Structure 1
Amino acid sequence: MHRSLLCLASLLLVAGCSHDEPGDYQSPADNYDLTHWKLTLPDDEASEVRSDELKGGYASRYFHLADNGAMVFMAPAGAGTTKNSDYPRAELRELLDPADDNRNWTGAGFHQLKASARVLRAPSTQKIVVGQIHGFDARPLIKLQWEKGKLKSLIKRHPKGSNKDISHVFATPVGNDLFSYVIEVQDGVLTVEVNGERIQHDFYKEDAAWREVPFYFKAGAYVQDDDEDGDDDVGEVQFTQLNVHHD
């Protein structure tokens, strides 16, 4: 199964708008296939936007189309959070079946998230997670974090029990420029690539308990800051490419 979410053949956009907040915003749905995603917002309730709402033209200050055709995610520091996190997010969550969150994929086979993005604004901590493989009722296998202008991978050794990370900082600084990343799994081996630099980790070998964990991809702006320090203390990320592939 292959899903390409980027379609920038034209910048002549006719997009739906949302009026739930002041201002008019263009919807990403005209440029991106959002069929297999739902969105978590950084509002007080950490609301979710279903895939049918995304396809129907949802847009807000938290999630909209930029004038250049990029998909924008924006999350203020100290905003609303999900029950299992201290940090706010404007973040897409992959859905193999848009009607069933319980259908996910395992570490067997081949699974790939490929993206290009840039961080336009960062919170005072200078930390934003821009991509993940998350375990269903388990920890994230991998978080890719923009931190002070560099990309860092944070790989969990175990789905439960010890909460230790394997961390790797990619050599090339990205600052606020466009960068590309690939996060993929093939038969229990995780590969992370940023701007051509690759690392690998055999998570099945690290802990056989990962074999029993279902997974899903996430992408967006997951701000690692629980304390708002002024109106400009926000994370804002633009995605210009976001593809998912499963075999």
Structure 2
Amino acid sequence: MRLSTVCLVLAGLALLAGCGKDMEKRYDAPGAAYDLSHWKLTLPDDQASEVRPAQLRGYASPYFHLGDGGDMVFVAPASGGTTENSRYPRSELREVMDPGDDNRNWSGEGSHQLRARCQVLQAPSTEKIIVGQIHGFDARPLVKLQWEKGKVKALIKRHPSGSNADLSHVFRAQVGKQPFSYRLEVQDGVLTVEVNGEQFTHDFYGADPEWRDVQFFFKAGAYVQASGGNADEVGKVVFSELSVRHDKAQ
């Protein structure tokens, strides 16, 4: 082989190697910019893996990372793995009051609040993604906040067990794929859901006293309401704000 041919081949191999490095995208960990010390993460991989609080500070992947603008990015393909009691995949944070004990949660007494600002950038063909929840421990979710075809809907369970009936409220704002703010709050057995300043209130203790025996935790992220499909069946949600506050009952 002539010297000029050898040099050409080596130059080509070096170019391919450089392209390969560019294609291997590096992700920054949201835990370096946000306090995630009281959250764990569920992933939409084949095993629906969990990332515990101790590892979450340095964790980043295609499913959960910092965006270019510093937002937390949650990505959940509809073809991803699911948790035991769900048909749908998620890239979603779950609040843990005690990072070492998932069994410690909070009651409906006192004041408990999650505030968030998020934006749905991509949705599966169902056009449904849950972006926030108050979930019962070993019980149903008290409320799921669902982005649906550009509107936001609160889906509230009337009962922690027995009848699976929902109380639903659709907020007036047509948020589309623009940023919106929401608040999920429980105060002494009364639920308040707020989206872009509009509030909806429900006395869940009054609706069913069985809720008094339930403990709760917050969730936030991209929980797509779709399964299977092609590579375009993906939910992508970014959060620029996520904060939690707990005030004990007097």
**Residue correspondences, number:** 225
Which position in structure 1 is the counterpart of 2:132?
Answer: 131
SS, match of residue 204 in structure 1: helix
Work out the CA distance in 1 between the residues paired with 2:110 and 2:137: 17
SS, match of residue 178 in structure 2: coil
Q: Select the structure of larger CA radius of gyration.
A: 2
SS, match of residue 107 in structure 1: coil
Displacement of 1:78 in angstroms is 2.4
2:30 maps to a residue whose letter is P
**Root-mean-square deviation (Å):** 1.0
Alignment of 1:184-195 (within 5 A): 184-195=185-196
Which position in structure 2 is the counterpart of 1:73?
Answer: 74
Displacement of 1:104 in angstroms is 0.1
Displacement of 1:125 in angstroms is 0.4
Work out the CA distance in 1 between the residues paired with 2:234 and 2:179: 19
Which position in structure 2 is the counterpart of 1:237?
Answer: 237
TM-score, structure 1 normalization: 0.90
Query: Which stretches of structure 1, 4 residues or longer, exceed 3 Å deviation after superposition?
Result: none
Which consecutive residues of structure 1, in runs of 5 or more, have no partner in the other structure?
1-20
User: Deviation digits for residues 127-178 of structure 1, max 9, x if unmatched?
Assistant: 0000000000000000000000000000000000000000011001000000
Which position in structure 2 is the counterpart of 1:178?
Answer: 179
Displacement of 1:227 in angstroms is 2.3
Which position in structure 1 is the counterpart of 2:28?
Answer: 26
1:119 maps to a residue whose letter is V
More helix by share: 2
Displacement of 1:54 in angstroms is 0.6
* 1:91 lines up with 2:85 in the alignment: no
Work out the CA distance in 1 between the residues paired with 2:218 and 2:61: 23
Which position in structure 1 is the counterpart of 2:210?
Answer: 209
SS, match of residue 238 in structure 1: strand
Displacement of 1:231 in angstroms is 1.0
**Overall identity of the aligned pairs, in %:** 67
Work out the CA distance in 2 between the residues paired with 1:226 and 1:169: 24
SS, match of residue 201 in structure 1: strand
User: Deviation digits for residues 167-212 of structure 1, max 9, x if unmatched?
Assistant: 0110010000000000000000000000010010000000000000
Displacement of 1:24 in angstroms is 1.2
Work out the CA distance in 1 between the residues paired with 2:205 and 2:150: 31
Work out the CA distance in 2 between the residues paired with 1:184 and 1:71: 22
Displacement of 1:23 in angstroms is 2.7
Which position in structure 2 is the counterpart of 1:159?
Answer: 160
Which position in structure 2 is the counterpart of 1:13?
Answer: none
Work out the CA distance in 1 between the residues paired with 2:193 and 2:79: 29
Which position in structure 1 is the counterpart of 2:56?
Answer: 54
Work out the CA distance in 1 between the residues paired with 2:31 and 2:182: 22
1:39 maps to a residue whose letter is L
Displacement of 1:22 in angstroms is 4.8
Work out the CA distance in 1 between the residues paired with 2:152 and 2:90: 18
Work out the CA distance in 2 between the residues paired with 1:193 and 1:42: 28
